[in-house]
């Protein structure tokens, strides 16, 4: 990083009519050599959830420590081996069946980041536990425009697919601000984009702006030109790359919107912007995640690839069967192969995000260096529906607190919230007890 004499505030925005764009960390934001010592990298946290468990032998490596093999599900992460930690042995008591019978999918998903058993109710008196993403958001997110961001790839309605005795709310999110306040997840890229970069307005104003096909960048051109004159060559390149990425995401949203029926008269409360193909939708939402970190709009993201009980088919990767169906494999080799193919595809999407983070400068390192991304499921063995030996991947450097390239195997039934306490400690959130936790994980 170059040290400059110009003092540009860390929270610098480009502003225009209906648009506010935060800028990534630039050299011009480090005003002097003496000030640099006080500038610490900003930690980011991400939690990425996949449903229906997995076939564990195709996920967990057999070798513990360094030099572990990349199993069929982990293979998409091969190029990022030095940046990941595979964790095995974690269990979530809050999701156990006990005497309650059904509802295991609901319990596994809703308690993934809290370790707290959700209250069995179909009414409005829902209750679970404050999740670790929200514990982090209250501390490391307090100085960012958005304390946290919750994203999903499913529609925000569930009809006929909730488990008996449990409210559908439990399946829609795993992020809980308080034990009685679930954080809704947004699946519409346009709505997410406007939360990150636009100032909103009425539904009619948003719809009109969308139909004008004007870029959010066009609205801030004057402010951008003024700022650019103050920047050095390296900062200009960084800003140009960032704004190009913003425009790319925006154009993909507009292409998705242009495929909708232009003759529709009714103006939706939120403009339609969900691509038809799941793969396009997933990559667009993950790119929005990247931009939210890069611009420091938020430092904590909760991302649900799909909710529990998902029966989505994946014909574009050669699996025309529903995910939930093949997850009940009963040791059928064909079903195991199909379920593992879905699992590996989800990991490949996660790997794509990590690769982009590794290639994105952030101060004296990269976004990946300064982040901890946790990927996993609330269910371990998909056939037995047990919240034991849950598949978990950590990625990133955590601002120097996380060493990659390892498989860490802990004792059977180690509380998942031991991992929660450990992760929070790495980003400066002082928590000593969460649910059934018994302490921090050694060696992590």
Q: Convert the pLDDT of each residue in 381-419 to its tens digit.
A: 999 889 999 999 999 999 999 999 999 999 999 999 999
Q: Beta strand pairing status for 44-49 and 406-415?
A: unpaired
| Predicted pLDDT of residue 1 | 40
The DSSP line for 14-57 is: EEETTEEEEPPP-GGG---HHHHTT--PPPEEEEEE--S-B-GG
CB 361 within 8 A of CB 26: no
Q: What is the pLDDT of residues 109-130, one digit of tens each?
A: 999 999 999 999 988 899 999 9
DSSP state of 381: B
**pLDDT class of 3 with cuts at 50, 70, 90:** very low
| Predicted pLDDT of residue 429 | 95
Percent of the chain with pLDDT over 70: 72
CB atoms within 10 A of CB 368: 26
Which listed CATH number (3.30.420, 3.40.720, 1.10.357, 3.90.1570) goes with 42-187+275-444?
Answer: 3.40.720
In the predicted model, what is the mean pLDDT of the chain? 83
| Predicted pLDDT of residue 201 | 47
Q: Is the pLDDT of residue 218 over 90?
A: no
CA-atom Rg of the chain in angstroms: 22
Take residue 84 and report the two structure tokens written for it.
């990941």
| Predicted pLDDT of residue 17 | 41
Distance between CA atoms of residues 87 and 278, nearest Å: 28
| Predicted pLDDT of residue 313 | 96
Partners of 392 in beta bridges: 87, 376
Helices first, then strands: H and E counts in the chain: 12, 15
Q: What is the pLDDT of residues 138-188, one digit of tens each?
A: 999 988 888 999 999 987 665 445 888 899 999 999 999 999 999 999 998
Distance between CA atoms of residues 441 and 420, nearest Å: 9
**pLDDT class of 96 with cuts at 50, 70, 90:** confident
Domain boundaries, the chain: 1-39+189-273, 42-187+275-444
| Predicted pLDDT of residue 144 | 86
pTM of the model: 0.82
Take residue 308 and report the two structure tokens written for it.
């529990």
CB 282 within 8 A of CB 306: no
């Amino acid at each position: 990083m170059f040290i400059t004499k110009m003092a540009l505030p860390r929270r610098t925005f480009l502003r225009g009519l209906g648009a506010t764009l935060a800028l990534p960390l630039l050299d011009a934001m480090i005003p002097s050599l003496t000030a640099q010592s006080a500038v610490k990298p900003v930690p980011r946290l991400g939690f990425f959830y996949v449903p229906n468990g997995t076939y564990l032998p195709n996920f967990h490596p057999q070798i513990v420590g360094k030099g572990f093999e990349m199993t069929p599900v982990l293979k998409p992460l091969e190029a990022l081996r030095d940046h990941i930690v595979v964790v095995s042995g974690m269990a979530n008591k809050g999701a156990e069946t006990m005497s309650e019978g059904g509802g295991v999918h609901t319990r596994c998903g809703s308690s993934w980041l809290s370790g707290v058993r959700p209250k069995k109710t179909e009414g409005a008196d829902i209750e679970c536990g404050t999740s670790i993403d929200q514990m982090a958001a209250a501390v490391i997110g307090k100085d960012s425009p958005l304390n946290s961001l919750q994203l999903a790839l499913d529609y925000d309605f569930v009809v006929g697919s909730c488990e008996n005795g449990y409210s559908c709310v439990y399946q829609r999110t795993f992020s809980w601000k308080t034990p009685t306040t679930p954080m809704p997840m947004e699946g519409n890229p346009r709505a997410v984009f406007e939360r990150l970069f636009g100032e909103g307005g009425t539904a009619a104003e948003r719809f009109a702006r969308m139909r004008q096909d004007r870029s959010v960048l066009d609205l801030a051109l004057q402010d951008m030109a003024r700022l650019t004159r103050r920047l050095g060559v390296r900062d200009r390149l960084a800003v140009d790359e960032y704004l190009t990425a913003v425009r790319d995401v925006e154009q993909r949203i507009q292409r998705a919107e242009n495929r909708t029926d232009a003759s529709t008269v009714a103006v939706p409360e939120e403009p339609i912007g969900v691509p038809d193909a799941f793969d396009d939708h997933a990559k667009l939402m993950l790119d929005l995640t990247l931009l939210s970190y890069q611009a420091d709009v938020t430092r904590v993201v909760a991302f649900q690839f799909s909710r529990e009980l998902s029966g989505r088919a994946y014909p574009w990767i050669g699996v025309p069967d529903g995910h939930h169906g093949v997850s009940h494999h009963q040791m059928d080799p064909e079903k195991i192969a199909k379920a593992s193919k879905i699992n590996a595809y989800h990991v490949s999407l996660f790997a794509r995000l990590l690769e982009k983070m590794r290639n994105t400068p952030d101060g004296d390192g990269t976004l990946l260096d300064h982040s901890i991304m946790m990927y996993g499921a609330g269910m371990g063995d998909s056939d037995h529906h047990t919240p034991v030996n849950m598949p978990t991947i950590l990625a990133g450097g955590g601002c120097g607190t996380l060493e990659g390239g390892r498989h860490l195997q802990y004792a059977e039934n180690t509380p998942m919230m031991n991992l929660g306490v450990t992760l929070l400690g790495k980003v400066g959130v002082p928590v000593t007890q969460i649910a059934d936790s018994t302490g921090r994980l050694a060696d992590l």
